[in-house]
Structure 1
Amino acid sequence: MDFSTSDDHSEPVREFLPFLRIYKDGTVQRLTGTKIVPPSLHDPKSAVQSKDVRYYSSSSAGGDVILRSRIYLPKQTAPGEKLPVLVYYHGGAFLIESAFSPIYHNYLNTLVAEANVIAVSVDYRRAPENPLPIAYEDSWAALEWIASHASGGGSEDWLNKHADFDSVFVAGDSAGANIAHRMAIRFGKEGIGGIGFAGLVLIHPYFWGKDPIGNEEKESEFREGAFEFWKLACPTTTGPDDPLVNPAADPDLGRLGCSKVVVAVAEKDFLSDRGRYYCEAVRKSGWKGEIELLEAKDEQHVFHLMDGGCENAVAMRSKICSFING
């Protein structure tokens, strides 16, 4: 099907609520996660400056493309001061949201200020117009672009002057956490010259599987719907035990390319059992690093984006900051 995003469409033929509709003429109508905000060199709340960058990629699926990201730097950073690098992948089921949306811009401003890091918020291409593995390829290209600054001669001065390339952390929430995990696996297998992968942060990761675990046994209808979303994002999937969505089925799980991982789950999140299961699977995989589970009681999926000032969101940010700077 030839997808487009114009307003010229006829009747909807498929609905994936609350995210999007697909119309008979191939138009994709996103119902949420479409707002964007500009970067700011003078954010008064966080004292963090941000700007958008573009870079050429010859490795992304679908041919040569120009990719975009938003980069963040604390304003109080001294000349020549080196900071850990946080590479962040946004969520949205691979279908909605962007690195430029209000919720991600606000979250990165706050996290960068508290952790005192330089951050790159990656804007990968989304399904269904650009089905997986395109988002994975775009996300890897972002890591390669960051690494191109390791010698100090890259296209972005903030990275040239302030990035500690021996201390690169990869993070994401929901589908972004799925991407972050895939980056860690690929880094463990291939590596990228010039950067040291120090740690992985997975927030409410979007993982799944054929056999229900925990509370999933009570939600058969929801399970069917969840798999339909996955097939929309990845039409070439081998099924619900595809290693791309079920890391426990991946023979390469023990090759995570970092030495420490923290996994955050929310008690009332429909994906929480998968996050716990991931921790168990990693521990059994032969991987030699340290993995820690962080659970927020009485919270829903990506609650930290909706209410960043709540007690559990503050506690989770504090843990991430400790993880990066510990």
Structure 2
Amino acid sequence: MSSTNEEVDFEFLPFLRLYKNGRVERFPYWKILPPSPSDPTTGVASKDVVIDPATPVSARLYLPPNSSPPPPSKIPLLVYFHGGAFCIESAFSSTYHPYLNNLAARANVVIVSVEYRLAPEHPLPAGYDDCWTAFRWAAAGSDPWIAEHADLTRLFVAGDSAGANLAHRMAVLAGAEGGLSLEGIALVHPYFSTGVEEEGSLGERLWRMVCPGAQGGTADPRLYPAADVEAVKGMAGRRLLVFLAEKDGLMKNGKAYYDVVKGSGWGGTAELVETPGEGHVFHLMKPESDAARELMDRLAAFLNAT
């Protein structure tokens, strides 16, 4: 319980409250689930690994039961970044563990689901830095599951909401660094700005909470990719798939991002999929719905296209 002399600086309810003295109050909203040597429904194996003990960055790996086809065949590798506005959720949560279990089985891919540090305790760019560390670790085949089962020439990044923002940023960084073979990028209901965030709005205040001292949404290319079209043009990857939802408050932002990519001169192919009648991350909230199954089928097909 908070002290009566503490003044609230920012609330992101029902998830957290930030006080002006720096204290963060988090409210339990989901369960943390353990990995399993064999999921009873899908047969997918999962395990947790520490990528960088100093940070620490960790991840949950998923290995589908059909991961050992006759040599020399291997299966795609997907590095996944969870959503949550850079400040909530977990790779180990009851939101993401069942979803990625099912995706690994449906798409027959090895998945690295990254557990990155969260704001406001760890303001950005900590989350970007952690995801970049994890992405390079996965791309190097640094775990036996990856080395034995994953085709590193079929490397993908994906995420939803803020995780989609992170996935885009990994593609930008990979393009700037060079030497990393990225096949594709899949963004589900991405968290971007259109560059017209009103001062004092929830979006503007949330960004300044997770990234204190950052430039406004019109100037920061991490939030507003149109601020650096050359970086978009140079991002790694041959294919891009962007999912939008009709009733998502971020839909117009995602469409603006897609238009920036298409107009940048980026050399890959881009596809836009719009789901009518649904809201933000509906596929996580209603995983058994027909729309959620269709989204997973489209994502699985994208990961397996040649």
Per the TM alignment, residue 9 of structure 1 is displaced from its structure 2 partner at its CA by: 5.3
Q: Could you say which residue in structure 2 is the equivalent of 1:228?
A: 205
Q: Could you say which residue in structure 1 is the equivalent of 2:155?
A: 168
The structure-2 alpha-carbon separation of the partners of 1:298 and 1:66, relative to structure 1 and needing over 3 Å to count, comes to same
CA contact (8 A) 2:16 2:27 kept: yes
TM alignment of 1:192-211, pairs within 5 A: 193=179, 195-211=180-196
Per the TM alignment, residue 67 of structure 1 is displaced from its structure 2 partner at its CA by: 1.4
Matched, 1:29 2:25: yes
Match of 1:84 among 76, 87, 90: 76
CA contact (8 A) 1:68 1:122 kept: yes
TM alignment of 1:185-196, pairs within 5 A: 185-191=172-178, 193=179, 195-196=180-181
Matched, 1:75 2:65: yes
Per the TM alignment, residue 46 of structure 1 is displaced from its structure 2 partner at its CA by: 1.3
Matched, 1:13 2:8: yes
Point out where structure 2 has 5 or more consecutive residues left out of the alignment.
none
CA contact (8 A) 2:67 2:109 kept: no
1:125 is aligned with what amino acid?
R
Question: Cα deviation per residue 1:96-116 (whole Å; 9 max; x = unaligned)?
Answer: 001000110011001110000
CA contact (8 A) 2:225 2:232 kept: yes
Matched, 1:307 2:302: no
Once residues 169 and 315 of structure 1 are traced to their aligned partners in structure 2, the CA distance between those partners, rounded to angstroms, is 20
CA contact (8 A) 2:120 2:210 kept: yes
Question: Cα deviation per residue 1:190-221 (whole Å; 9 max; x = unaligned)?
Answer: 03x4x520000000000013337xxxxxxx69
Q: Could you say which residue in structure 2 is the equivalent of 1:295?
A: 274
2:222 is aligned with what amino acid?
L
Q: Could you say which residue in structure 1 is the equivalent of 2:36?
A: 40
CA contact (8 A) 1:33 1:101 kept: no
Q: Secondary structure at the match of 2:274?
A: strand
Once residues 210 and 71 of structure 1 are traced to their aligned partners in structure 2, the CA distance between those partners, rounded to angstroms, is 36
Between the aligned residues of both structures, percent identity stands at: 47
Q: Could you say which residue in structure 1 is the equivalent of 2:217?
A: 240
Once residues 245 and 87 of structure 2 are traced to their aligned partners in structure 1, the CA distance between those partners, rounded to angstroms, is 22
Matched, 1:250 2:240: no
Per the TM alignment, residue 33 of structure 1 is displaced from its structure 2 partner at its CA by: 4.5
1:29 is aligned with what amino acid?
E
TM-score relative to the length of structure 2? 0.92
2:137 is aligned with what amino acid?
W
Q: Secondary structure at the match of 2:56?
A: strand
Q: Secondary structure at the match of 2:151?
A: strand
Q: Secondary structure at the match of 1:65?
A: coil
Per the TM alignment, residue 56 of structure 1 is displaced from its structure 2 partner at its CA by: 2.2
Once residues 248 and 147 of structure 1 are traced to their aligned partners in structure 2, the CA distance between those partners, rounded to angstroms, is 27
Q: Secondary structure at the match of 2:31?
A: coil
Question: Cα deviation per residue 1:144-202 (whole Å; 9 max; x = unaligned)?
Answer: 211332xxxx3x211121111100000000000000000011111103x4x52000000
CA contact (8 A) 1:49 1:73 kept: yes
2:294 is aligned with what amino acid?
A
Once residues 67 and 268 of structure 2 are traced to their aligned partners in structure 1, the CA distance between those partners, rounded to angstroms, is 31
Q: Secondary structure at the match of 1:166?
A: strand
Q: Could you say which residue in structure 1 is the equivalent of 2:168?
A: 181
Matched, 1:148 2:127: no
1:160 is aligned with what amino acid?
A
1:206 is aligned with what amino acid?
Y
CA contact (8 A) 1:267 1:298 kept: yes
CA contact (8 A) 2:66 2:108 kept: no
TM-score relative to the length of structure 1? 0.87
CA contact (8 A) 2:244 2:273 kept: yes
Question: Cα deviation per residue 1:204-258 (whole Å; 9 max; x = unaligned)?
Answer: 000013337xxxxxxx69x811110111011121101111101122231111201
Once residues 213 and 29 of structure 2 are traced to their aligned partners in structure 1, the CA distance between those partners, rounded to angstroms, is 25
Matched, 1:283 2:273: no
CA contact (8 A) 1:73 1:158 kept: yes
